[in-house]
Amino acid sequence: MVAIRPSVKATAPIIIIGGHYDSVAAGPGANDNASGTAVVMELGRVLALRYPKYEFRFIGFGAEEVGLVGSTAYVQALTPEERQRVVAMINIDMISVGDTLYIGGSSGLTRLAFNAASEVGVSNVAGMPADIANASDHAPFAAAGMPVLFLNRENDPNYHRATDTLDKVLPKNLEMVGNIVIKVIENLSGN
C-alpha cells in the first residue's frame, strides 16, 4: 500500500512514512504492527495539506515478519533519482505497548527525534537497543544510503503472542508518536 502526496515541485525532497501491516501467525498483531499502521494512516490525513515543499509517501509494507520482504522490494524498485531525493524514511513499528519509546536510525534524524520528543513532552525515551537496530523496514533504506528514523517500543510482553490484542493498545502512545513525527518534519524543514 503506497499513497503519494505530491509536492509543488516534481523534484522535491521525499519524506517516506511507513510501517508494516503484516503480523506473525502466532498473534493478531495489535501492537506489532496495527499500532504503527494506524499512525501512518493518521499522519497521511494530518499531513495531506501541509509542508508542500516535500513529497510524502505513506507506505504500508507487507511481509516484514518473514524478512523485510516488502520494504526490500520497494527499495529495489526506487530509481537512483528517487533515492537521492529521500531526505527521511520514518519507520513506525510497535509503538503502543511498553514503557520506553526507543529512537534509532541516522544520527541527524535521531537527534531531531530526541529533541522533538522533549518538545512534545515525552520523557521515557532511549536510544535503540543494538539487537533490534536493523530489525525492521527502515533497514533496506539505510543500507541503500537513505537517512532513516526508527521508532519502536520493543519491550512489549505480548510480542509475537496471541495476547498482542487491541485491548492492550494505548491511544495516547499512538498520538505521542504522531506528534513526534510531525515535530521532526517541522524541524527538518526549518519552519
Could you list the residues that contact Zn ion (CB under 5 A)? 32-33, 93
Q: Is 64 a catalytic residue?
A: yes
3-state SS, residue 162: coil
Task: Tell me the three state secondary structure of residue 123.
Answer: coil
169 burial (CB, 10 Å; 0-12 / 13-18 / 19+) is middle
Choice between 55 and 93, CB closer to Zn ion: 93
Contact 128, 93 (CB under 8 A): no
Q: Minimum distance between the CB of residue 64 and Zn ion, rounded to whole angstroms? A: 6
Backbone angles phi, psi at 57, to 5 degrees: -125, 115
Smallest separation (angstroms) from Zn ion to the CB of 36: 7
C-beta of 54 vs 74, nearer to Zn ion: 74
Give the active site residue among 64, 82, 119, 175: 64
CA angle (74 as vertex; 152, 135 as ends), nearest 5: 30
Q: How far is the CB of 138 from Zn ion (least distance, A)?
A: 11
User: Can you tell me the distance from the alpha carbon of 71 to that of 62, in angstroms, rounded to the nearest whole number?
Assistant: 8
Q: Give min distance, CB of 164 to Zn ion, in A.
A: 10
Round the CA-based radius of gyration of the chain to a whole number and report it.
Answer: 15
Closest CB to Zn ion among residues 110, 152: 152
- What are the cell numbers at 97? 505497548
7 or 35, CB closer to Zn ion?
35
Half-sphere exposure of 82 (CA within 13 A, CB side): 14
- Which residues form the catalytic set? 64
